[in-house]
Amino acid sequence: MKIVKRVLIGLAIVIAIPLVVALFVKQKYDIERQITIDRPNQEVFNYIKHLKNQDSYSKCANMDPNMRKTFTGVDATVGFVSAWDSDDKDVGKGEQEILKITEGKRVDFELRFLEPFESTEKAYMTTESVSGNKTLVKWGFNGKMKYPMNLMFLFMDFDKMLGDDLQTGLDNLKTVLEKS
C-alpha cells in the first residue's frame, strides 16, 4: 500500500509541476514582419485589401493547390469572408474575415481556425508611403494560447515559425507587385 501511495504522490507531482509552470508562462504573442515594395502606397493597399489576392502571395494559401475555397460577401469590404478547407493537415479548415478597413493604411482580419485545432486570432496588414513610389508593408498576427496549452511557448519559437510564413508571404507580395 505504501508503494502505491508513493507512486500516486509521485505521479501527482509530475502532473502538477507543468501546470504550475504554465501559470507563469506568457499567454499572448505578437508577430510582425515588414518589407518595402517599389510601388505607390495606394496601389499596394488596393491589392492587399482584397483577400482573394492572398492566393498569389500567402504561403498558407499556396500550400495545397487542391484546397477548396468559398467566399461570402464583397471582397475588399468589411464582412467579406474567405473560407478554406484542405485535406492537408498543415492547412486544415478555417476562414478569414475582414473586420475593419482604414483606407490607404490598414486592414484588420479575424482568422478562425477550425481544423486541425480550433482557434480565433487577429491579423492585420498596414501600408505606409516611405518615399516617392516606395511603400512599407507590415503584416502582423497576434493571439493567445490559453492555459495550460501556453506551455508550448517553452518548446516552440512561435515568432520564428509564424514570422517566417509572414515573411515568405511578404517576399511573394513584393515579387508580384513589382513584376507588374
- Residue 148 is given by DSSP the state T
Please state which of the ranges 28-37, 74-83, 137-146 shows the lowest mean pLDDT. Answer: 137-146
- Residue 17 scores a pLDDT above 80: no
* Range 134-154 average pLDDT: 83
* Range 85-92 average pLDDT: 90
Residues 6+ apart with CB under 8 A from 56: 172, 176
Across the chain, mean pLDDT equals 90
pLDDT score recorded for residue 159: 79
pLDDT score recorded for residue 130: 94
Start-end of H helices in the chain: 2-22, 41-48, 158-179
148 prior amide bond cis, ω within 30: yes
* Range 148-169 average pLDDT: 81
Q: Which domains does the chain have, with CATH numbers?
A: 27-179 (3.30.530.20)
Residues of the chain with pLDDT > 90: what percent? 58
- Residue 97 scores a pLDDT above 90: yes
* Range 149-175 average pLDDT: 85
Predicted confidence (pLDDT) per residue in 20-55, tens digit:
777 777 788 889 999 999 999 999 999 999 999 999
- Residue 180 scores a pLDDT above 70: no
Residue 26 · residue 138 · CB < 8 Å: no
Residue 31 · residue 142 · CB < 8 Å: yes
Q: Which residues pair with 107 in a beta bridge?
A: 101, 125
